[in-house]
Amino acid sequence: MSSLIAEMVAKNIAVYELPKQTRVVMLYWGLPEEWADVLHSWATATGQLNTILTFYEISDPSIPLSGIPTPLLRRVITTLVRSNRAQIIGVADGEGARFFAATK
């Protein structure tokens, strides 16, 4: 089993939940880059650009990301941060994000 998991991690379809350990693994049913596009499209379509939303508000609505685990959501938003399409913000009850219009 551990060799199968190691192969999945090597192929970027899974990630060890905590760095430098091999006991807890998060399997991706969609790559963070794919979810990032879905999330940004949702934020754009629903008029959420430049609005601060908590991670709970992002994972609660009826969209493909409903119920997404917080560690995966954080990775997805980090992908958007790298492309200047989002910003992670600390809010009173946890973490939040602000989405920006895509730049060309």
Q: CA–CA separation, 92 vs 83, rounded Å? A: 26
pLDDT of residue 31: 86
12-33 pLDDT, tens digit each? 888 888 777 778 888 888 888 9
Query: What fold is seen in the domain 31-104?
Result: Arc Repressor Mutant, subunit A (1.10.10)
Ranges of each domain in the chain: 1-29, 31-104
Write down how long the chain is: 104
36-93 pLDDT, tens digit each? 999 999 999 999 999 999 888 888 767 777 888 888 899 999 999 999 999 999 877 7
pLDDT of residue 9: 87
Q: Which of 90, 86, 79 is nearest to 101 (CA)?
A: 86
